[in-house]
Structure 1
């Protein structure tokens, strides 16, 4: 068993390419506003060519979350696949510079490193178009039992469920962490993702998942309650240890088998870019969880971290989050 870690994340290793565009750009290119859409290499080239000058930074949902935990001062690791190309080097450098253990061997052939083309509109909404590239090559053999077994919490990204071989990898990681006595956490990632894997994810929540993360749209989609959030809360209650459900400006709701805790959103002066808000909410919550804080404190740290990230451009904290936990 390796050095004890607070959180190990597993997900699609992606470099984010972020630009600000008007609403007409969304319409002109037939994008689904506010959603994450999977695209092929040709579509990625087309959109990239049409985008305004962009910021390129390492991303990926679970990678953002472990970066946030590291920023709080936690000990973290990450599992994801990149190619031995320029973007793969960018990803590995960025995540390593944050103190995250990232030791998965880079692919020597096959598709290039994944990239997510993120369009931020004036209302701060983000529309994501993702070419998964090398991230789809994550194999069960890439799962290091020592790394996963050393984790207090395994954080699994729902997006990775879209590819059969990566699904096998995530199931292997869940099995190893569970056997070692770790906590299994899972994020629903996206409403369309929930629709694609509906029954499997219902079974997961009823099975190995201890901590479930999602927003109100995702949880309503999972339990097929339309827009009735309260019905979705009732449906998930008792099916896992905690469901942490975010509601944007209405804060979050923490659902346990015996109680429902409402956590207010942290105040923010200005919403610049909502990219990564849910990822960083999970960062704050998990940092609190691994420090033995009560659920209300965990939710508060989640809200503070989410607010910090939406008041800046990009999905990673631009400065240390440690002060939020004081």
Structure 2
């Protein structure tokens, strides 16, 4: 069913997060690469779940988290992603719609179960993710409603969506519809390992005009341009015909274009509990700011505030009222 007049329509993997605190020894014992995301099969998913400590189960998925965060800041948002008609799929759908995000993608009635991401959080707040894509891989072009995409001012795509072939085609279809309607397309590179797998294709998307706004952390950007040097990566980004938004953890963010580079400081955080969703919520704040007509610097400040809130607690979705917090911090007018 079409969702007319959205500010932001996010396309991504519909995933339920299984979060647990752990220690460095667990990561070593289970051959997990700290701070990264790895794709796993169902057998690996079951063995990890059996070995984990007590877990919290919440709806997640990178682009879905962004849609939720932007909605919390007053943007009209929607999400397109595939779940199975099972217990976790129904939990995901309920949670997303309850936040005010329009989600109407028909669930799969057969095939793999709803996707799960096992998020292991070490005492320093770093998260290591292992994802079973499951039903996510069934997202296909028929799930893309042309009227909904054409009516969305910004279509936001997560790089993780590039893994399943059918989802990749859905991605391309959405880009064509959005640009045909004169709207903007934003892409998050998602993870350095994701960039490593699809570097040439991501570069093509950047350079052929498919992407108008690129979100990346500095590690993803260096992977994209195959350099260990931050300045070299930023110089390459400045040559692209798009708006680049680069996050650098506690060093804040950079807004990069051919006109120049603007540095925006990070918001202070009392204690980093869990970095899951920091990039997702930064994108949420930035895009919500764009939907309000804010300048790029103000958008980055709003993104930084949203990211600072989410890393202060377990889980990738905001717990505070972001709109009230933004007014209180002077990022949005009262």
Cα distance in structure 1, aligned partners of 2:258 and 2:189: 19
Equivalent in the alignment of 2:110: 109
The worse-fitting range, judged by mean Cα deviation, of 107-116 and 144-153 is 144-153
Equivalent in the alignment of 2:307: 306
- Alignment deviations for residues 12-45 of structure 1 (CA, whole Å, 9 cap, x no partner): 0000000000111101111111100000000000
Equivalent in the alignment of 2:221: 219
- Alignment deviations for residues 109-128 of structure 1 (CA, whole Å, 9 cap, x no partner): 00000000000000100000
Equivalent in the alignment of 1:20: 21
Equivalent in the alignment of 1:133: 134
Cα distance in structure 1, aligned partners of 2:221 and 2:52: 32
Query: Structure 1 residue 2: deviation in Å?
Result: 4.8
Contact 2:3-2:78 at 8 Å conserved across structures: no
Contact 2:70-2:285 at 8 Å conserved across structures: yes
Query: Structure 1 residue 140: deviation in Å?
Result: 0.3
Contact 1:149-1:176 at 8 Å conserved across structures: yes
Equivalent in the alignment of 1:241: 242
Cα distance in structure 1, aligned partners of 2:248 and 2:177: 32
The worse-fitting range, judged by mean Cα deviation, of 315-324 and 99-108 is 315-324
Normalised TM-score (structure 1): 0.98
Cα distance in structure 2, aligned partners of 1:249 and 1:307: 10
- Alignment deviations for residues 211-246 of structure 1 (CA, whole Å, 9 cap, x no partner): 0000000000101111x1111111011313210000
Contact 1:211-1:240 at 8 Å conserved across structures: no
Equivalent in the alignment of 1:264: 265
Query: Structure 1 residue 282: deviation in Å?
Result: 0.2
Report the 3-state secondary structure (helix = DSSP H, G, I; strand = E; otherwise coil) of the residue aligned with 1:3.
Answer: coil
Equivalent in the alignment of 1:94: 95
Unpaired runs of 5+ residues, structure 1, are none
- After superposition, where does 1:141-156 map in structure 2 within 5 Å? 141-156=142-157
Cα distance in structure 2, aligned partners of 1:261 and 1:302: 14
Query: Superposition RMSD on alpha carbons, in Å?
Result: 0.9
Report the 3-state secondary structure (helix = DSSP H, G, I; strand = E; otherwise coil) of the residue aligned with 1:104.
Answer: coil
Aligned residues: 325
The worse-fitting range, judged by mean Cα deviation, of 236-245 and 137-146 is 236-245
The worse-fitting range, judged by mean Cα deviation, of 232-241 and 211-220 is 232-241
The worse-fitting range, judged by mean Cα deviation, of 43-52 and 235-244 is 235-244
Mark the CA change 1:70 to 1:18 in structure 2 (over 3 Å): closer, same or farther: same
Cα distance in structure 2, aligned partners of 1:301 and 1:40: 37
Cα distance in structure 2, aligned partners of 1:213 and 1:157: 9
Report the 3-state secondary structure (helix = DSSP H, G, I; strand = E; otherwise coil) of the residue aligned with 1:108.
Answer: coil
Contact 1:83-1:113 at 8 Å conserved across structures: yes
Unpaired runs of 5+ residues, structure 2, are 327-331
Query: Structure 1 residue 257: deviation in Å?
Result: 1.1
Question: Structure 1: which 4+ aligned runs deviate by more than 3 Å?
Answer: none
